[in-house]
Amino acid sequence: MKQVKVYAHRGASAYAPENTLPAFALAMEQGADGIELDIHLTKDGELVVIHDEKVDRTTNGTGLVQDYTLAELRALCADNGMDGFAEARIPTLREVLALVKPGKMLVNIEIKTGILWYDGIEEKALRLVEGMGMQDRVIWSSFNHYSIEKIRQLAPEAATAYLLGDIICDVEKYAAAHGVQGLHPGLYNVKMADLLQRYLDSGLTVRVWTVNGAEDLRWLMGQGADVITNDPKLALEIRRGL
Ligand code: G3P
Ligand code: CA
């Protein structure tokens, strides 16, 4: 059986502020196979890495990301209340890609178009990734499957995955019909009935989020699923023991 992969969710976010350069650098240092991150567009059309539509939860600012220019966002402290990270800022997607480019890490870019719609975000992100020569290391995902459809239309060879919040019947057929190779179910999804085995049997690459507990990590990786975790250090320790 091929070795399962460990993706650092928003970077090594158990140890450093989520979606910041320190969190991604730490994930790399800990030996994660990949990182997961979330993208939005600023008022002046820059691709930035932050989870929420608003800056309120993770920075000392308030309001929507899309109402800030990049320069204005840069003034905010993105330490997410964690001690010792006063210098942390909201990074651009370009900065994160440049940071991890020298290594071999994979990058799961989640397009955050589930709540707000950012016109042209898919093409902009795709062109950036291509321009940096990293298209073979990126997996595109979104809860908004229309965003994935756009990626597929623009770059049919791109690696794509559907994020699953709710259960979709016959999701394997649905993914195959749209040329999507990966499924990203929530941990709560695959704890139901026989869904994990069914997803794994479909031949699609299954990456489960967000798996932080030792027991869940051991179970999922033991079954052959990749994991997206805040704690890549723990996941890698457990994988070594499998
Ligand atoms: O991509 C997996 C996971 O990050 C999806 O949920 O809310 O953490 O972006 P969320
Ligand atoms: Ca995410």
pLDDT tens, residue by residue, 123-156? 999 999 999 999 999 999 999 999 999 999 999 9
Q: Is the CB of 36 under 6 A from ligand 1?
A: yes
What percentage of the chain exceeds 70 in pLDDT?
Answer: 99
Q: How far is the CA of 8 from the centre of ligand 1 (A)?
A: 11
- Answer CATH for 6-240 from 3.20.20.190, 3.40.50.300, 1.10.1040.10, 3.30.70.20: 3.20.20.190
Q: Is the CB of 221 under 6 A from ligand 1?
A: no
Q: How far is the CA of 52 from the centre of ligand 2 (A)?
A: 9
pTM reported for the whole predicted model: 0.98
Q: Is the CB of 40 under 6 A from ligand 1?
A: no
Q: Is the dihedral of CA 7, 205, 219, 192 positive or negative?
A: positive
Does the structure show a pLDDT above 70 at 173? yes
